[in-house]
Chain A
């Protein structure tokens, strides 16, 4: 029998935090991302190459989380916008003030195109019983994040493994 709080148990396997991105995918931010890692891939800088190879401008696939991360502040929200809210829900409900991400898998489907609005959902897949590591005592969890465009095309599926814990002492 699981020792998880009932509310956490009820989240497993359920789509939660289905949210639309707060702005459209746009090229200025694509170039900011490319600039930050000195990514000179002509797919993102040369329109002729982009038209020939990807049928127009697209975003680097690894930039997917950019399009769904909430604004840090917005006039329509009373609290700080949080990405990956399931992770923070678990920290709170399982009394794990600290957490790390130990693994992350990104599976890329349709390319992300300029002008699209990306939406996401999160599914808690599993939570272990209490475990003690050198960091402290806590639990491991797995969260799936699905990213889609407004037509419902799957863009990226992400599988995130985290460990929430309390420091010893």
Chain B
């Protein structure tokens, strides 16, 4: 189990790439798991003939969970999301291989002593970015620190 601490991170560090082959099951299961029954996420005929796209595609809430999972695989369970800002440029379709990539752009400690890392994350398909995400996660400043224990004024996402 990873347990990333602030001192182990520096600007420019990269998170190992994560590649995943997206199937119809990936898309439909992701839609069901986010309770999204809109047809473009399970009905290929609708996606092609109504939306004019090549196939069914991942929905945004499920894609957000893929991003969270990618970052917390790196930080370990004490990594706590503060904010995630997504820019959608294209869709991830059934049949695509999506590749998550991440680079650390900032490492800091706020005035409450909370340690923060900012990571530029993106999901690429065939080297084109479909969605980018600026992810700000709190990580422990030391072995006994736990960002999840912060509340009220001590948590400034």
Residues of A in contact with B (beta carbons under 8 Å apart): 29, 32-43, 49, 53-55, 60-63, 65-66, 69, 72, 83, 100-111
Q: CA of A65 to CA of B77 in the docked complex: distance in angstroms? A: 21
Contact string against A for B residues 97-127, beta-carbon threshold 8 Å, 1 for contact and 0 otherwise = 0000000000000000000000000000000
Query: Are B69 and A39 in touch, CB under 8 angstroms?
Result: yes
Instruction: List, in ascending order, chain B residues with CB within 8 A of A39's CB.
Output: 65, 68-69, 72
Q: How distant is A23 from chain B, measured CB to nearest CB, in Å?
A: 10
Pick from B36, B81, B85: contact of A62, CB below 8 A.
B81
Contact string against A for B residues 18-48, beta-carbon threshold 8 Å, 1 for contact and 0 otherwise = 0000000010011011111100000000000
Query: Are B81 and A111 in touch, CB under 8 angstroms?
Result: no
The closest CB in chain B to the CB of A103 belongs to B87
Query: Are A104 and B86 in touch, CB under 8 angstroms?
Result: yes
A-B contact count, CB below 8 Å? 106
Q: A49-B77, A65-B61, A66-B35 are in contact. Are A105 and B83 (CB under 8 A)?
A: yes
Q: CA of A38 to CA of B35 in the docked complex: distance in angstroms? A: 17
Query: What number of B residues sit within 8 Å (CB to CB) of A?
Result: 38
Q: A36-B29, A111-B148 are in contact. Are A63 and B83 (CB under 8 A)?
A: no
Query: Are A41 and B77 in touch, CB under 8 angstroms?
Result: yes
Q: CA of A19 to CA of B83 in the docked complex: distance in angstroms? A: 24
Interface positions, chain B 34-79, Cβ under 8 Å from A, are: 34-37, 60-62, 64-69, 72-73, 77-78
Q: A107-B157, A110-B151 are in contact. Are A62 and B61 (CB under 8 A)?
A: yes
Query: Are A69 and B148 in touch, CB under 8 angstroms?
Result: no
In the complex, whether B84 has a CB less than 8 A from a CB of chain A is: yes
Query: Are B83 and A107 in touch, CB under 8 angstroms?
Result: yes
Query: Are B61 and A66 in touch, CB under 8 angstroms?
Result: yes
Q: CA of A124 to CA of B140 in the docked complex: distance in angstroms? A: 36
Pick from B35, B82, B86: contact of A103, CB below 8 A.
B86
Q: CA of A110 to CA of B150 in the docked complex: distance in angstroms? A: 9
Query: Are B86 and A105 in touch, CB under 8 angstroms?
Result: yes
Contact string against A for B residues 135-154, beta-carbon threshold 8 Å, 1 for contact and 0 otherwise = 00000000000101101000
